[in-house]
Amino acid sequence: DAKTTQPNSMESNEEEPVHLPCNHSTISGTDYIHWYRQLPSQGPEYVIHGLTSNVNNRMASLAIAEDRKSSTLILHRATLRDAAVYYCILRDVGLNDYGGSQGNLIFGKGTKLSVKP
Amino acid sequence: EAGVAQSPRYKIIEKRQSVAFWCNPISGHATLYWYQQILGQGPKLLIQFQNNGVVDDSQLPKDRFSAERLKGVDSTLKIQPAKLEDSAVYLCASSLTHRPGQGMAGELFFGEGSRLTVL
């Protein structure tokens, strides 16, 4: 599976936008870009995913570079509850022999986001 | 909608003892995963089930770890005998199939995890 590179940590002020970068220079044409986050003492939770076009949902926006070798997760107004480890993951779109999703989520160390009041 | 249930939340055992973790996925989710998360690291996949079949167990230390998903619903993960390096949080997750053409992200829903301490 293709690898991603993220900064170990970032800091933000409350109510300011946050841009979390991710490099994935070896991404293949069938890889989707997924973002998950993990709040303290909880399991990871899905944030957003995309293939080529920028995506928006209620939690965040995902900006994908034209060559797909990098992407940025954007939190428009950080809150204290957004303090978490954010993981950028590549997931293959194919199906396995059982008809289920082929690509497993392979987590790196992620970016630890701190939000200051 | 009920989330992924895991138990126990915490377990402390001595090395060479055995332990079992239980997971009940979200109703209707055919895919179930067990991840191991060591402190300071991202989760590492141990095993993936599709219904009651094993899709990927390449990272499962089969000399001491075993997992089953009888009837394609609940799952148990067992460690026997435990080693000090098995101290970690064991996360269970479930998902529908990732079908982007049908607008299905196939996102994983994780439980809160079972924290194991091996002394």
CB contact under 8 A, B33 and A104: yes
Give me the residues of A, 55-114, that contact B with CB < 8 A: 85, 87, 91, 93, 95-101, 103-110
**Tens-digit pLDDT string for chain B (119 aa):** 689 999 999 999 999 999 999 999 999 898 899 999 999 999 999 999 988 889 889 899 999 999 999 888 999 999 999 999 999 999 999 998 766 666 666 789 999 999 999 99
Q: How many CB pairs under 8 A join A and B?
A: 74
Whether A46 and chain B come into contact, CB under 8 Å, resolves to yes
Nearest to A101 among B31, B111, B112 (CB): B31
Helix (H, G, I), strand (E, B) or coil at B1: coil
Is the model's pLDDT at A101 over the cut of 60?
A: no
CB atoms within 10 A of CB B64: 14
Residues in B touching A42 (Cβ below 8 Å): 110, 112-113
Cβ–Cβ of A103/B93 closer than 8 Å?
Answer: no
For A10-40, write each residue's pLDDT tens digit. Answer: 999 999 999 999 999 999 888 889 999 999 9
Chain B, 79 to 98: residues with Cβ < 8 Å from chain A are 91, 93, 95, 97-98
pLDDT of A82 over the 90 cut:
yes
* Residue-wise pLDDT tens digits, A44-60: 999 999 989 899 999 99
The alpha-carbon gap from A117 to the nearest alpha carbon of chain B, in Å, equals 25
pLDDT of residue A66: 95
pLDDT for residue A29? 85
Under 8 Å between Cβ of A28 and A15:
no
Torsions phi, psi for B85 (to 5 deg): -70, -5
pLDDT at B106: 78
Q: Are strands B88-95 and B75-79 parallel, antiparallel or unpaired?
A: unpaired
Per the prediction, chain A carries an average pLDDT of 89
